[in-house]
A = this chain, B = another copy of it.
Amino acid sequence: MKLYDSKTAPNPRRTRIFLAEKGISVPTEQVDMMKMEHKTPEYTALNPLQRMPALVLDDGTIITESIAICRYFEVLQPEPPLFGVGAKEIAMVEMWNRRAELNLLFSVANVFRHSHPAMKELEVPQVPDWAEANKPRIVDFLRMLDAELKNRAFVAGDRFSVADITTLCAIDFMRPIRMPVPEECIHVKRWHGEVSARPSAKA
């Protein structure tokens, strides 16, 4: 199998951290998004949507979408569980992973894509008003998450999960849009320090 990866983008990083937490290593090819390598005919043949990452299996099956690739490996190697175990925990991990995507990761990505000069040729048309509209959502969600993290270790419960991976990648992606975590979100900061110290965070 081969993983098409891109070192600079938050979604491929989700898959890399997931694999590092599982202790799985996969042959990898780098695709430089800043050089538009994900728009070439070769990569478009793998993923017509021109998004990263993509996993090609030995039988030729192509899996795209970071979380779909993660789920593939969760079934192949269930330990340590990163999508939860049992109906209730599985539902809580799915809920918090989606909350972190819809309210945080996608909002940060929208600010980046619709306001950053580097995205001018990649996001057409850029809609600056949409970038602005997303900024308060980021702050609102981090405040909500802060109240949750006051009472538990990780985003979806007492165990590290894919919801922590999504939230970590989203918060670190706030650097290029120059938004800090609000000062008062001390529980988010505590959590961010802890998950950043895990070896997988360097993946």
Are A95 and B65 neighbours in the complex by a CB distance under 8 Å?
A: yes
A60 to chain B, nearest CB (A): 11
- Shortest distance in angstroms between A103's beta carbon and chain B's nearest beta carbon? 7
Interface on chain A toward B: helix, strand, loop, or mixed SS? helix
Partner of A72, one of B67, B73, B91: B91
User: Do B68 and A75 touch (CB < 8 A)?
Assistant: no
A144 within 8 A of B: yes
With a cutoff of 8 Å between Cβ atoms, the chain B residues found around residue A69 in the complex are 91
Which of the 9-residue segments A122-130, A174-182, A188-196 touches chain B?
A: A122-130
Are B127's CB and A49's CB within 8 A? no
Q: Mark A82-118, 1 if CB is under 8 A from B, else 0.
A: 0000111011101100110001000000000000000
Bound-state CA distance A67–B102 (Å) is 13
Task: Say whether, besides A61-B88, A127-B129, A94 and B75 are in contact (CB < 8 Å).
Answer: no
Determine which of B67, B75, B127 lies in contact with A87 in the assembled complex, contact meaning CB atoms within 8 Å: B75
Determine whether A24 belongs to the interface, using a CB cutoff of 8 Å to chain B.
Answer: no
Chain A interface, number of residues (Cβ within 8 angstroms): 32
B residues less than 8 Å from A88 (CB atoms): 57, 61, 72
List residues of A (46-71) whose CB comes within 8 Å of B's CBs: 48-49, 57, 61, 63-65, 67-69, 71
A133: CB under 8 A from chain B?
yes
Complex Cα spacing A64 to B98, Å: 10
A95 and B125 contacting across the interface, CB-CB below 8 Å: no
Residues of B contacting A197 with CB < 8 Å? none
Q: Is A45 positioned at the interface, with any CB of B under 8 Å from its CB?
A: no
Of B64, B67, B91, B129, which contacts A63 at CB under 8 A?
B91
Q: Does A76 contact B (CB under 8 A)?
A: yes
Top 4 A-B residue pairs of the complex, sorted by shortest distance between their CB atoms: A75-B87, A68-B95, A72-B91, A68-B94
